[in-house]
């Protein structure tokens, strides 16, 4: 996710981006982790199934075989400082090259 670290004012929105190339959209996973034990993933978006709350907005933009994912954290609060966010490719959910014709 970009940026790697970010400082935000309370109550503002923060958008992070994740860029992939040559992968299918159904293989993208967005999750957040607690920065203190237990470090368990909480899925925001998994294998094309959103698990949104009123806290997140996820958008996708495609250009050719490139996918840009935008994850917006709404209304930043003090609790958000304890989370780390991750954008990965879920191998069994479709982490495979897109075939262009």
33 within some domain: yes
Give me the domain span that covers residue 85. Answer: 14-89
1 part of a folded domain: no
30 within domain boundaries: yes
23, part of any domain: yes
Where is pLDDT greater, at 5 or 66? 66
Say what the pLDDT of residue 91 is. Answer: 55
pLDDT digits (tens, 9 = 90+) for 38-78: 777 788 877 666 776 788 888 888 888 788 888 899 999 99
Establish if 97 belongs to a structural domain.
no
Is residue 19 included in any domain, yes or no?
yes
Q: How many residues are there in the chain?
A: 101
Q: Do 71 and 1 meet the contact criterion of CB atoms below 8 Å apart? A: yes
pTM over 0.85: no
- Residue 22 located in a structural domain: yes
Q: What are the DSSP calls for 32-89, one per residue? A: EEESSSS--EEEEEETTEE---TTEEEEEEEETTEEEEEEEE-S--GGGGGEEEEEEE
Count other C-beta atoms under 10 Å from residue 27's C-beta. 19
Please count the structural domains in the chain. Answer: 1
């Amino acid at each position: 996710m970009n940026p790697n670290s970010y400082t935000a004012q309370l109550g503002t929105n923060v958008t992070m981006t994740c860029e992939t190339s040559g992968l299918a959209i159904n293989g993208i996973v967005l999750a957040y982790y607690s920065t203190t034990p237990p470090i368990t993933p909480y899925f925001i978006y998994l294998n094309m199934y959103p698990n949104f709350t009123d806290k997140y907005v996820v958008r996708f933009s495609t250009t050719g075989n490139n996918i840009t994912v935008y994850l917006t954290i709404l209304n930043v609060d003090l609790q958000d400082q304890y989370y780390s966010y991750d954008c990965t490719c879920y191998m069994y959910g479709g982490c495979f090259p897109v075939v262009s014709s």
